[in-house]
A and B are shown apart, each in its own frame.
Chain A
């Protein structure tokens, strides 16, 4: 068996479940759609392949580029002791009007020994070619180091892409995040009839035809019919040979479409867009919020409503992620304003009853209300109804590690201990945060 060769040849066999894992690999879908099984099945043959030895799109149409299957493979890979291969990639299409388009795609790298001009950060970047007029030393082009904003300053990134990322792809992104980073599943609350989702089950009954014969109901009908026909009489012995069964008496269970009940979530994303958030802190916060939103979309099978709030000294609700993502940085910072706004919205719309409410707040940790008197007041109110408040402090490198106003007053308030279940907090230096760190932080916030 192949397992034996495996253990000999160095694949980790520490995992006692190796049998199990191999079992897991073969799903019916794999059997039909994936020649991974090694032999060729019905659907692996086609004319082009076997008559003229040429593969065509007929073949490709048969292949399913199924993210689930790929993620499953990646998971097994990790169990074998090798690092994961599938990563999240962000593609950005810069546009002149500043409305860059961004999408998130699964991506991977084939690691090899490659040359890399690492010293490009020292002094000058590596030279390239060009053509045209100009003396030596003359500047022939320049590129802004910061993306152009609409005047006020700049946002975390631009684009309908964000919108795009929040739509069709968010579900897939969430799936990758959940799988890859083993983000926890969430508890259910306030199930509500879905308007869009249906469940199919055998709950309906039908006479004459259907999927499964309902014997008890059929018998009842038979008795009823025969009572009416007079073949069964009250207080008399039943003569089974006289009983007539019409096709109409057969009662079946039939597959039916039902509106599904689903958990719902309401997520508030709060972004500090004050002046000090310029650059990396904003990027980190926005990226994190994209990921969290994607993850929730996946967890709640798209039954997530998100609301977006930006604040400096005043808080505003913005209509969509696009605006949220692109809002330019502005003035000073007063965190309480945003918390207060959330509390007002929840109260006004009576959201606490029907929804799991999640609140994620991204800031650089600066607050004019340095002792947090106002903020803590609102935060305490918030904690009475939410499932989770997750606060990320993406510190500016100059503020020093774990030294921000927000971090200080949160720690002093002891809320992090008393409300440990609901209030999660993470802080790190924004400029040092890579994708891995951002996801680590998500884990802290939602685990």
Chain B
């Protein structure tokens, strides 16, 4: 892994100037490294972050990667990681014109990382440095606790997709606090009863006191009442603050956080070190969360700009045909299948065009006549501003949901492709299932990253109860057992999962040609590493 040479760096700097003029915004410092394919294989289990903590399963993935490379040798063009400064990796044998194209692509990615709001939590620090510190922490803990560190990593990673990414992104903590109990409610309901466990008599006396103050001076009742309380319990304010924080985080759908807070074993003194590992795993997962949720947009955005800026670049005239070949490979739309580069790129082009003509407007939307719609153009030319607004404020789900419309689907002849088995010909057929924008959008939404939604609570016996909200897809059964065993390890007590599964036995009973799916609620329990399953009636 070496830095690119001066000549190539100069090309990069030239690209930066031009990209900046076009409106892209990114930190001026970047690092570009030449890597071998073998480096890339070794980096990929670490999501390309060279400083990510070590974990033995990554080594197995490297061995697998090497095998894969044997049958699928490939030269990736580039990889860029969201660090400060941003780092990108390249092959060493690209011609200059190709580097120009790749650099524009990379710069657009960096612009996206640094301006899209879903990445806002990654803006304030350099992940590679943080990861390096964490890597050292993990190494040190390993020296003290041996292989148990790997179990904690493994089991924490087992639920690292059930973290509250969106709620973590939400900075308006105050909004959540608004819904929390007032000081008075907290004092009577929690402080006296749970924290101080006072006698019923005392409790009633306090209520009486409060009521009398309230009757005499309804305006300042809280102030008067709590001035006395604080004298008696100077710790009250601190408790209230902490209590509010705990309750605020209770509202977050973050299973890892919940376990760290509520697990009995993890809060034992000699197990506190496990919390730091879980925190590391959680932070890492949070860091990667925006990336997977903006895949289509990010690639579309980078493809949009590499094409645009390459064609405008005055340094490399004469390579348009070679460029067109490579560009087409990247951005050609699949006959069957989904290519995020292709869809994202075309959507950004479409959005710019529509916004240039001011078609995202009420005036346009109320027109029903197809010819009038085609002719509509207010000539505002605000498309460029609008796509920058989109790159700042959207993620894949909102992006696709908002901008896929019938015009888009028609223009690129998009379709939903269904699959069915033709038993006569003994083939699997792909057929045009629909050309409706709504169906296409639905299909796109179905293909987006979407971890299961699982609610959780601690039951009266101290067991962790998980409720999987069934959204038409069951949990992958082969993985349930080990994930539960891992959860039990972290929780230190029984873990129960309620979920819904396809009932094959019921389906087998069906006589008709066309089978209807049947679902059944089931309960998984894990206790002492033994997992059992029962049907719920």
Contact = CB atoms under 8 A, between A and B. Distances in A.
Do these two chains really belong together in a complex?
yes
Interface of A: 2, 5-6, 8-12, 22, 25, 35-40, 48-49, 53-60, 63, 65, 67, 70, 73, 76-77, 80-83, 85-86, 89, 91, 93, 101, 103-119, 122-146, 161, 164, 169
A35 B54 contact: yes
A8 B70 CA distance: 45
A113 B451 contact: yes
Interface in B276-321: none
B427 A127 contact: no
B505 to A, nearest CB: 14
Given A106-B60, A132-B335, 9 more contacts: A38-B141, A65-B62, A65-B63, A85-B57, A108-B57, A116-B477, A129-B444, A141-B429, A144-B426
A107 B66 CA distance: 11
B50 A142 contact: no
B202 interface: no
Contact of A73 (B56, B64, B338): B56
A329 B458 CA distance: 58
Interface centre among A49, A59, A70, A116 (most CB of B within 10 A): A116
B68 interface: yes
Q: Which 9 A-B residue pairs are closest in the complex by CB-CB distance?
A: A38-B143, A105-B67, A125-B419, A111-B479, A116-B476, A56-B1, A130-B417, A141-B430, A55-B50
A104 B68 CA distance: 9
A66 to B, nearest CB: 8
Interface string B47-84: 00011001011011111101110111000000000000
B337 interface: yes
A105 B132 contact: no
A122 B517 contact: yes
Contacts of B482: 82-83, 111
Interface residues of B, number: 113
A113 B36 contact: no
A11 B148 contact: yes
Contacts of B522: none
A277 B272 CA distance: 58
Contact of A5 (B38, B271, B414): B271
A51 to B, nearest CB: 12
B454 A116 contact: no
B416 to A, nearest CB: 5
B413 interface: yes
Interface string B427-438: 111111111000
30 contacts: A2-B144, A5-B270, A10-B489, A37-B143, A39-B140, A58-B1, A65-B66, A82-B529, A83-B485, A110-B154, A112-B158, A112-B160, A114-B451, A116-B476, A118-B474, A123-B514, A127-B418, A130-B432, A131-B414, A134-B432, A139-B431, A141-B336, A141-B430, A142-B422, A142-B429, A144-B426, A144-B427, A145-B426, A145-B428, A146-B426
B21 interface: no
B192 interface: no
A116 B480 CA distance: 12
Nearest to A108: B60
Nearest to A67: B63
Contacts of A53: 51, 128-129, 132
Contacts of B447: 128-129
A138 to B, nearest CB: 5
B233 interface: no
A105 B142 CA distance: 28
A34 B252 CA distance: 39
Give the dominant DSSP class at A's interface: mixed
A116 B468 contact: no
Contacts of A118: 473-474, 477, 501-502
A103 B73 CA distance: 14
Given A124-B420, A125-B419, A115 B517 contact: no
B143 A140 contact: no
Given A107-B60, A113-B480, A115-B473, A129 B413 contact: no
A118 B64 CA distance: 27
A145 B479 contact: no
Contacts of A134: 415, 432
A117 B471 CA distance: 10
B187 to A, nearest CB: 37
Nearest to B440: A129
Nearest to B450: A115
B443 A137 contact: no
Contacts of B428: 125, 142-145
A60 B39 contact: yes
B432 to A, nearest CB: 5
Given A91-B67, A91-B68, A116 B433 contact: no
B62 A112 contact: no
Contact of B473 (A2, A57, A59, A116): A116
A57 B41 CA distance: 11
Contacts of A85: 57, 60
A104 B431 CA distance: 34
Given A35-B54, A140-B417, A115 B514 contact: no
A35 to B, nearest CB: 6
A82 B151 contact: yes
Given A10-B492, A56-B1, A129 B139 contact: no
B35 interface: yes
A53 to B, nearest CB: 6
Contacts of B435: 136
Contacts of A131: 333-335, 412-415
Nearest to A169: B67
A2 B1 contact: no
B157 interface: yes
A140 B515 CA distance: 25
